[in-house]
Amino acid sequence: MKAKKNSYFKSNGKLDCEVCGFDFYLKYGELGKGFIECHHKTPLSELEPNTETKLSDLALVCSNCHRMLHKEISTLSISTLKEILNSN
């Protein structure tokens, strides 16, 4: 998960939620620096034992979006949640 954060930061220059764009550092300053949650796009319960996680299997999300993704874990994707958020 640290590798995902490092890769994302290197590409984007920040750690913001891939759904809503929330940036803990911008909101909380030093307290939020480097903080973001990491979400497995495919639920771990659906993976074969010893499946190796690739960076592309992960998404960086804020706490609120992470909870919403887990509310409908088997059906809700990052892109679908983003559509829901943008339509409201």
pLDDT, tens digit, for every residue of 56-85? 999 999 999 999 999 987 778 999 999 999
User: What's the confidence (pLDDT) of residue 32?
Assistant: 97
Indicate the pTM of the whole model. Answer: 0.89
Handedness of CA 71, 50, 19, 80 (dihedral sign): negative
User: What's the confidence (pLDDT) of residue 88?
Assistant: 83
- Residue 28 is encoded by which pair of tokens? 């909380």
Q: Helix and strand tally (H, E) in the chain?
A: 4, 2
Across the range 39-63, mean pLDDT stands at 92
